[in-house]
Amino acid sequence: MILGMKTRKHDLEHMLKFNPKILEFHFSDSDINLELEGSFDQKLIVHCYEYFERKLLDIVSLKETNQIHSKEKSLELIQKAIDKTIELTKQFKGTPTLIVHPGGYSLNESTQTEINKMKELVVDSVDKLDLKNVNFLLENMPPYAWFFGGRWNCNVFLNTNDLKKYSLKTDLKVCYDLCHSQLYCNKNNLSVIDELLRIESYVDHFHLSDAGGEDEEGLQYGEGDMPFEKIIPILNKFEDKSFAIEVWKGHEQGGKGFGEFLDKIKQAGLIIS
């Protein structure tokens, strides 16, 4: 697999020490004005901001609230991220990629009617974006996410059947977060291996970390219940697919947590080009 490292501008020097072929910049809303010095031998991925001015982006939002932007505003803000990604790409190699969380958030449990309506909006919303000159990847979601100090429900883009239908309708690939998928599988008594095998052909980029229970994400290798011994042989088929590590606070102390995860997964047999 191709190594990518998640970074922000102030962590960039530390991440370059891992010799990645991809740099995945995790944007906050202030990065809409990001400027970088020099040029890079890596390809560029931008992970779109989840918040903008203290409100969540949600491309399937059924209504604007004081914590969630409207669908229309979310798409406008994502288009700005696309434009910024394209602007930055002159300093990198190849075609840039933008990763986006689709949303579908609710503090309380949604009705099946509401969930179905949100699911129907995914393709329609993506169709409204100008995606030429960028590789656009929606990312699968965990069953729960932590925002504003509370646990929210994620209602769309959870299982690989939905991801596959999306890819077939749009001819776009996805970012597959194995940690998110493991949490979804834990909640629903499913196999993450079955999910991975179902979606593997439609994935362009992976996010890797360990996971536990229904909402413990971003764990260090070996601290959760991810069956890496079964996952790694599957990932080793993908010489042309990339991954980035998403260990919680893994960027701190010069990328110590990222480095630990990378060492452990290589020792477990992951082949990195």
Q: What is the pLDDT along the chain (273 residues), one digit of tens a residue?
A: 999 999 999 999 999 999 999 999 999 999 999 999 999 999 999 999 999 999 999 999 999 999 999 999 999 999 999 999 999 999 999 999 999 999 999 999 999 999 999 999 999 999 999 999 999 999 999 999 999 989 999 999 999 999 999 999 999 999 999 999 999 999 999 999 999 999 999 999 999 999 999 999 999 999 999 999 999 999 999 999 999 999 999 999 999 999 999 999 999 999 998
Instruction: Provide the phi-psi class of 68: left if phi over 0, else alpha when psi is between -120 and 50, else beta.
Output: beta
Question: Which tokens hold the place of 209?
Answer: 């970390």
Q: What secondary structure, in 3-state letters, does 218-266 show?
A: EECCCCCCCCHHHHHHHHCCCCCCEEEECCCCCCHHHHHHHHHHHHHHH
Strands 22-26 and 203-208: unpaired
Tell me, yes or no, whether 94 lies in a domain: yes
Residue 72 belongs to some domain of the structure: yes
CB 183 within 8 A of CB 143: yes
Total domains present in the chain: 1
Is residue 177 assigned to a domain?
Answer: yes
Question: Is 200 within a domain?
Answer: yes
Beta bridge partners of 46: 25, 98
Q: Is residue 175 part of a domain?
A: yes
CATH number of the domain that 33 lies in? 3.20.20.150
Q: Does the residue 222 lie in any domain?
A: yes
Residue 272 lies in a domain: no
Parent domain of 263: 2-267
Kindly state whether residue 273 falls inside one of the protein's structural domains.
no
